[in-house]
Amino acid sequence: TLGSVRYEHFLIFCLAFQSHLIQYVGLSHHLIALNFIIVSFGRKSAWSSPNVQITDTEFDGVEVRVFEGFPKAKEPLKSGVIYIHGGGWALASARISYYDELCSTMAEELNAVIVSVEYRLVPRVHFPEQLYDLERAAKYFLQPQVLERYSVDPARIAISGDSAGGNLAAALGQQFSKDDTFRNKIKLQALVYPVLQALDFNTPSYQQNVNSPILPRLVMVRYWIDYLRGNQDFVQAMVVNNHTALDVEQATALRARLNWLSLLPVSITKDYKPVVQTVGNAQIVQELPQLLDARSAPLIADQEVLQNLPKTYILTCEHDVLRDDGIMYVKRLENAGVDVTHDHFEDAFHGCMIFTSWPTNFSVGVRTRDSYIKWLKQNL
């Protein structure tokens, strides 16, 4: 109805205000205060329900919130999901209501144990410390005695995350794929509108959604720079791809892995043109070599790494600068022989999957969440 449409538009406006505040005042000196507001107003205590037991604890020194679905007679061992929240590596928490409600629903619907990791954030730490937190927590959980304590089937474990959490989940999956001890311990990976690269901020989806609510392009670039502990003076140069110009030799070998003219279908590329500068700013990559590190940008990983990854689910949204990151990863994984399910929503926007309850309850949020959980239920 017209009333519900206006209501949803109003909520989008409110949610977008935070992103535009970041866009115009910058990130570095405001992240702690901004996240304090987000967490203070959104924090939810570890209250168990009749169907899900919730506990705050630590795994090898890393804070986690554990959601345990109650065992079923026909399924004494539960599946397990290591979940990584989004927020630009700088915001949000496993303990805010959005992620608490998502993980509670997952635990109940999947008869699973969900380990939601409270990894450290920018500006307290920067890349790769977030990934180290996740590796420690995941390796602790995957110990046989820990899985037995939580009644988890060691053959039915997934890693998953949304947005920056999807980035970290993809990076964690790649790290485990190179480790003989952990390569076969992850059955699935499920990535929800993941951010996967920082070499091209002019993919069709970045061009199409440059000023979209929730996550404008300029905000995403600022998140990247702060994650990699860079200089915010680089923002404008990176927006026009000066950091990967033709004269930036360090980026030459990786450019083919992001050739969206070959990785994206014509229905996506449309009339958009690649933005490739002839002369750029080599100083950016010299000061931020992490831009070329697959641990920060999983989309640029070697084919040999990708071919060892587990069965994968990737959800993308049409109204999202990160849409093409996900679609290109789908194509690269398929080319590497990985079994991939691509779940695209034409009416969805970045971040929508956690907006499922009042006052930010969107129908597309419920539909994306249900589709994601359905895939996990069928495959985990």
Considering the candidates 85, 126, 319, 350, report the single residue annotated as catalytic: 350
Distance in angstroms (rounded) separating the CA atoms of residues 187 and 380: 7
Return the SS3 of 56.
strand
The string of DSSP codes covering 65-91 is EEEEEPPBTTB-SEEEEEEE--STTTS
What CA–CA distance (Å, rounded) separates 126 from 131? 10
Q: What is the DSSP letter of 347?
A: E
Q: Compute the distance between CA of residue 170 and CA of residue 197 in angstroms, rounded to an integer.
A: 11
DSSP string computed for 119-157: ---TTTS-TTHHHHHHHHHHHHHTSHHHHHHTTEEEEEE
- Catalytic annotation present for 29: no
What's the CA gap between 101 and 123, in Å, rounded?
Answer: 26
Residue 322 DSSP symbol: T
Q: Answer yes or no: 350 catalytic.
A: yes
* CA 134 – CA 147 distance, rounded (Å): 17
| Active-site residue, selected from the candidate residues 19, 79, 104, 163 | 163
Look up tokens 């996967």; give the residue: 196
| Residue 109: how many other CB atoms lie within 10 Å | 16
Tokens standing for 32? 């702690």
Distance CA 91, CA 302 (A): 30
Alpha-carbon distance of 129 to 284, in angstroms, equals 21
Looking at residue 165, its amino acid is G
Strand order in the sheet with 188-192: 52-59, 62-69, 112-117, 78-84, 152-162, 188-192, 311-319, 340-349
Residue 209 identity: N
> Which is the catalytic residue, given 100, 226, 320, 324?
320
Report which secondary-structure segment, H or E, holds 22.
Answer: helix 2-25
Q: How far apart are CA 42 and CA 117, in angstroms?
A: 17
Are 277 and 245 spatial neighbours (Cβ–Cβ below 8 Å)?
yes
Catalytic residues: 163, 320, 350
